Amino acid sequence: MTIDSYPLINTSANHFIGYTYFMDDSRQMTTKKALLVVGVVVFLIATTFVVPAKYVGLTKSNRQPIILRNQDELRALSGDKDNNNIADWRDIALAGIGTTTQAEVKKVPVDPVIKKRLDDPNNLTASFSKNLYMASAYTQSKGEQLSPQQQEDLVSSMMQKEKTKIVTKTYVIADLRVNKEETDATKKVYGNALGNLLKKAENYKLAADDLKIMQAYSTSKNASLLEAFVVKRNNIDTLITSMLSLSVPYSAVPYHILALNRVSAYKTTIDNLSKAESDPIRSAVAVDSYYDVTQSMLNALSAMREYFMLSKITFTSNEPGYLFTSGYTKQ
């Protein structure tokens, strides 16, 4: 398979990317992803009956409050139950249980890991769970019952809001070292330097084995498997730093910026996958967007080959930039 068919794609699943494996695996992950999200959401919502009561009496809190939409919702809270002068999801939890039950759950030790996740404003799973819990309590307080379609729409809307919290670093021309000298020689130097980086990318296994790791984790729940994503994220950081250090011909700037930002998006995806244990909704969003992100990255690298072809720059077989001339082929 050459770069003409699938840019920089190696049909071996153990190399840059196995296209056939990826397509099959992405479908296999759909059900597991859904079960993973639902299971952890239910678990975290259940913990709110323990953690909130434990916070009763605290005079200081660093957590982020939930912003209510109107006064009806505020009244639905039935007061500031945890006496922290913040109308938030914990008040709903406390309003839903009696004094005796509150006293009992106070005796239950609080898991510091769960507490940390619930208080983390960047934890999408915690945020989603708290908002879903609040919406459910508010609906019940008005004596309403949502239809299955309304429930689905509510969850979908909340998921979309959580997705907007994921931010990817975007690079601009000012971040590059632009070489305004437009000669075949400078373009060839750039192509060879870029070729070396693509070889590193292959060694880093960019876009390879990621879904296989997620599938193994969803089966075993072995958090040590996620360490592979941390290593890969750090390697991508190194790759981005190297891309920023290259002397980029002025005519290649649009291609370089495109490739740089697509690699940056892939880094965000890998970072989100690494948080599958502590923030499964974040990792589920990453799995859902994985194909689009990786394919966009590979397309950007393919565009690089077109740049050198249009510039009529060719490389010999012993030069790192040769893949831009011959295409990437591996048996």
For 126-184, the pLDDT digits (tens) are 888 888 877 877 777 777 788 889 888 888 888 888 999 999 999 999 999 999 888 99
Pairwise CA distance, residues 4 & 21, whole Å: 19
- Kindly state whether residues 157 and 170 are assigned to the same domain: no
Helix (H, G, I), strand (E, B), or coil: what is residue 179?
A: strand
- Kindly state whether residues 196 and 232 are assigned to the same domain: yes
Q: How many domains does one find in the chain?
A: 2
**Confidence band (pLDDT; 50, 70, 90) for 257?**
very high
User: Given 163, 190, 220, which residue is the final one in a domain?
Assistant: 163
Pairwise CA distance, residues 134 & 90, whole Å: 9
- Whether residue 62 has pLDDT greater than 60: no
Pairwise CA distance, residues 195 & 177, whole Å: 18
User: Given 147, 163, 179, which residue is the final one in a domain?
Assistant: 163
**Parallel/antiparallel/unpaired status of strands 177-179 and 247-249:** parallel
**In-domain check, residue 2:** no
User: Given 123, 148, 163, which residue is the final one in a domain?
Assistant: 163
When pLDDT is averaged across residues 304-318 and rounded to a whole number, the result is 92
**In-domain check, residue 294:** yes
Pairwise CA distance, residues 75 & 95, whole Å: 12
- Kindly state whether residues 311 and 234 are assigned to the same domain: yes
Q: How far is CA 291 from CA 21, 27, 135, 329, in A?
A: 12, 11, 32, 22
- Kindly state whether residues 124 and 202 are assigned to the same domain: no
pTM for the model: 0.69
**In-domain check, residue 287:** yes
| End-to-end C-alpha distance for the chain, whole angstroms | 8
How many percent of the chain have pLDDT more than 90?
44
- Kindly state whether residues 319 and 185 are assigned to the same domain: yes
Mean pLDDT of the chain: 76
Parent domain of 252: 19-37+166-326
DSSP 109: P
For 193-234, the pLDDT digits (tens) are 999 999 999 899 988 999 999 999 999 999 999 999 999 999
Kind plus residue range of the DSSP H or E element containing 177? strand 177-179
